[in-house]
Structure 1
Amino acid sequence: MSESKTILRVAAKGDGVAADGAHFKGTAPGDTVASDGSIARGPHHVTPPCRHFGVCGGCQLQHCDEETLRDFVTSRVTNAALKEQLDVDELLPAHLSPPRSRRRATLHIANAGGRPQVGFREAGSHKIVDMQECEILRPELFALVGSLRQMMARRSGRYAVDAELSLTDQGVDCALKNLPVEGLAQTEALLDFAKDNELARLTLDQGYGPEAVWEPEPVTVSFSGIPVSFPSGSFLQATADGERALVADTRAWLDGSKLVADLFSGLGTFAFALAGTAKVLAAEAARDAHFACKSAASFANRPVHSMHRDLFRNPLQLDELNRFDAVVLDPPRAGAKDQIALLAHSDVARIVYISCNPSSWARDAAQLVKEGYRLEKLHPVGQFRWSTHVELASLFVKAG
């Protein structure tokens, strides 16, 4: 009979790993796995707070204690850096967003067994977990689950609807995709749903793009006190808490900079945070986000110049980059390979790189370091609590 195995760490996809490299789902460091597969809980294994854990694909790590979660977020970032042989001057303690703080999410709705099911999907499956509770969503978002279920219960036949929820200044913005609306009764039911739940906006996309059907007042999201128009489906940091952590790093690390380029700027999360002491160029490819940022800057009289530019196809060139004291960038998961190649050869003194993918970040970071930048600070951030999704903030300083 083989001996039991002790779990040493948590791997990138959430499985516990023993000394021989064997992976065991649902285990935490210090757990012991017997030869028959039974698990004896160790000091870092806790009772998951949600009844759906283990089935719902929204969380992978609810069985791990706070120390393990911090170690996991940190190791995901440091392992990526180690793979590229990156040295960091200062590794900051990991920041974790608290439970029930997620302010944006996509829920799935389908008719199963004659009744609507509303929730996230099971891990690796299209099957929906009919959500009865949720420890990650803001209460304002979770409060809509029952109302969505009730509204869809009046419908017959097969349907598969996505509900994109975002918390805005005015309340919850709800965008429904693939929901056909035919006739007066269905239209009135939809408007009653929006009114009864005091939605900030209700948007329908029936295959021809989003169309607002309920919006009592213009929907905004505020960044550093500046209200910015919120186009349906626009990107938001997953939690306000995580956004504050990333903004605080950026402000502190770029303190004293007079001219800053914010690349992949979105609605202006970092641009408006920096615009109090610096002039900021905000470059963004999405046209609606660009116009929202531009209008907000003009109305608030902030020194933010919004530029509509696809930085994948047309990155800022050396002569443009060299005008700036500092650059902040927050690219999509693919990273910013072409823009980084130019930044690496620029005269920009400080670069703050925000990333939601440690692997692409490490690849880009290696290019900066190769060309003379020093990785001065690295801050792991866990906005997606209990999931394997990890973010980070980093500061690169030009050597010499």
Structure 2
Amino acid sequence: MSDVDEIVRVAARGEGVTADGRHVPFAAPGDRVLPGGDIEAGPHHQVPPCRHFPECGGCQLQHLDDASWSQFILDRISSALATQGLEAAIRAPALSPPRTRRRATLHAESSGRIGFSMEKSHAIVDLAECHVLAPELFALVAPLRRLIHVLRPRRRLDVHLTLADQGVDLLINGVMPEGLAAAEAITAFAEGNRLARVAFDEGYGPEVRWEPEAVTITLGGVPVPLPPASFLQATREGEAALVAAVREVVTGEGVVADLFAGLGTFALALPGRIYAAEAGREAIMALKAAAARSHRTVFTEHRDLYRRPLTPAELDRFSAVVIDPPRAGAKEQAQALAGSKTPKLAYVSCNPSSFARDVNTMVEGGWQIDWIQPVGQFRWSTHVELAASLSRR
């Protein structure tokens, strides 16, 4: 090893890596590691904007500029493909700007501390600033401290924040407030901060305490009923990039299947006739209601695609398929797609490793990867998302 090592890439967990494989925390490509272990900043090393970095687990890569963060995303995807013996054309990542996260889960305790957990710890970073949360969400941190002090929870709380059409939707897990004083405090808190909804869940399902009008989230131009703590793409910018990629794959086709459809992020953004399958009962019922009210030709089915994936015969009815599974991927559904005659697929993934595994199965069944569009919507995070176009060879 030379006296001075240069960082050449960033590893999956965010450490800088030298040419000889040495891992150096909080180093960026182009940094020089001096003999004593100090880091001499290179052209891609930026000053982290947040005072809580690196203790806060919300971010791992604030020391990288956008160019090196983009390269990190590309490397993650290409490395995942390489483990399966695959290659593909990978486009430039679409990066969400700072302060655009519209959903997040914070943690809180009776002392009033509220924030993300520390990296590799359950300790809470008491947020004094945040450069990833949308301003509407961060504005609630201080008022929430006061409310939690009134509620006096006996254990750590999970605080789910979502920016809906009507304002911020709040769900607090771990406490069920009782008594007049708590009820008055919740009402004052909701009114004073113009919240869309406040709900609590102590383990038996959400109980709504404040919702002056039905809460919705607009997807594809359609207001969709929003169950508490529902899944949404983390930023509007990230959602737009993924939707654009999916539309590029399937627009112009006949009947399209949207698998793991959720609330309808893709189903409601696509033209033509859509079949949508989703295991979450509340989500698929919300999509069904929204499609009916907006006169969209979306046919919904409450279906667990892990237990009962669409068969090759069922898949053959569609001109194209959209699939957006959870982090575990869709191994069984990929096997069925490999055996189907469906000509086109848009695969949306939040885990390059499970994506590469599933796609390898499909490539062995006669598919090819046309292109991959990476999306970085978890700003300064090691979390990587993508949309890919696949077609029959």
TM over 0.5: yes
Q: Among 135, 139, 145, which residue is 1:139 paired with?
A: 135
Return the letter of the residue paired with 1:106.
T
Spell out the pairing of 1:118-137 with structure 2 (5 A cutoff).
Answer: 118-137=114-133
Is it true that 1:71 corresponds to 2:67 in the alignment?
Answer: no
For residues 37-186 of structure 1, the aligned pairs below 5 Å read 37-88=37-88, 90-111=89-110, 115-154=111-150, 156=152, 158-186=154-182
Which of 283, 291, 295 is 2:289 aligned to? Answer: 295
Determine helix, strand or coil for the equivalent of 2:109: strand
Give the letter for the 2:100 counterpart: S
Deviation at 1:156, TM superposition (A): 4.9
Give 1:288's aligned amino acid.
E
Counterpart CA distance in 2 for 1:283 and 1:180 is 33
Q: State the SS of the aligned residue for 2:51.
A: coil
Residue 232 of structure 1: aligned partner: 228
> How many angstroms apart in 1 are the aligned matches of 2:203 and 2:342?
44
Choose which of 253, 263, 285 in structure 2 pairs with 1:267: 263
2:368 paired residue among 353, 371, 374: 374
Q: Distance in 1 between matches of 2:172 and 2:149?
A: 16
Contact 2:109–2:153 (CA<8 Å) still a contact in 1? no
The 1-side partners of 2:14 and 2:3 are apart by 23
Q: Compute the displacement of 1:85 (Å).
A: 1.6
**Are the counterparts in 1 of residues 153 and 175 from structure 2 also a CA contact under 8 Å?**
no
1:154 is displaced (CA, Å) by: 3.5
The residue number in structure 2 matching 1:285 is 279
Task: Give a deviation string over 1:279-336, Cα, whole Å, max 9, x none.
Answer: 1000000000010011111111101001100000001112211000000000000100
Q: What amino acid maps onto 1:218 in structure 2?
A: A
Instruction: Return the offset for 1:254.
Output: 1.1
Superposed CA deviations along residues 56-87 of structure 1, whole A, max 9, x for unmatched, are 01001001111001101111111111221213
Amino acid at match of 2:245: D
- Distance (Å, rounded) in 2 between the aligned partners of 1:121 and 1:318: 44
SS state at 2:55 partner: coil
SS of the counterpart of 1:187?
helix
Shift of 1:4: 2.4
The letter for the 1-side match of 2:75 is S
C-alpha distance in structure 1 between counterparts of 2:53 and 2:363, whole Å: 41
Give the Cα–Cα distance (whole angstroms) in 2 for the partners of residues 381 and 259 of structure 1: 27
Are the structure 2 counterparts of residues 215 and 156 from structure 1 closer, same or farther at C-alpha, using a change threshold of 3 Å?
Answer: closer
Query: Which of these residues, 243, 250, 257, is aligned with residue 253 of structure 2?
Result: 257
CA distance, structure 2, for counterparts of residue 92 and residue 7 of structure 1:
24
RMSD: 1.2
Give the residue type in structure 1 aligned to 2:53. F
Give the TM-score normalised by the residue count of structure 1. 0.96
1:192-214 Cα distance to aligned partner (Å, 9 max, x none): 11111111000111222101110
Within-5 A mapping of 1:302-313: 302-313=296-307
In structure 1, what is the equivalent of residue 200 of structure 2?
204
Alignment length (residue pairs): 393
Equivalents in 2 of 1:281, 1:353: separation in Å?
16
Segment of structure 1 superposing worse, 151-160 or 257-266 = 151-160
Distance in structure 2 (CA, Å) of the matches to 1:390 and 1:23: 21
SS in 2 for 1:43: coil
Amino acid at match of 1:53: F
Question: 1:157, CA displacement in angstroms?
Answer: 7.1
Distance 2:228 2:128 in 1: 27
Question: 2:373–2:388: 8 Å Cα contact kept in structure 1?
Answer: yes
Distance in 1 between the 2:125 and 2:353 partners? Answer: 30
Question: 1:387 & 1:133 partners in 2: Cα distance?
Answer: 17
Report deviation, 1:152: 2.2
Moved over 2 A (4+): 152-159
1:153 partner SS: helix
Could you say if the C-alpha distance between residues 239 and 41 of structure 1 is closer, same or farther in structure 2, counting changes exceeding 3 Å? Answer: same
**Deviation at residue 159 of structure 1 after TM alignment:** 3.4
Alpha-carbon distance between aligned partners in 2 of 1:120 and 1:213, rounded to the nearest angstrom: 25
In 2: Cα distance, 1:157 partner to 1:292 partner: 32
5+ residue gaps, structure 2: none
1:342 maps to which residue?
336
What is aligned with 2:243?
A: 247
Amino acid in structure 2 at the alignment position of 1:30:
G
Range with greater deviation from structure 2 (70-79 or 152-161): 152-161
CA separation in 2, counterparts of 1:303 and 1:343?
Answer: 24
Question: Under a length normalisation based on structure 2, what TM-score does the superposition of the two structures give?
Answer: 0.98
CA distance, structure 1, for counterparts of residue 312 and residue 19 of structure 2: 48
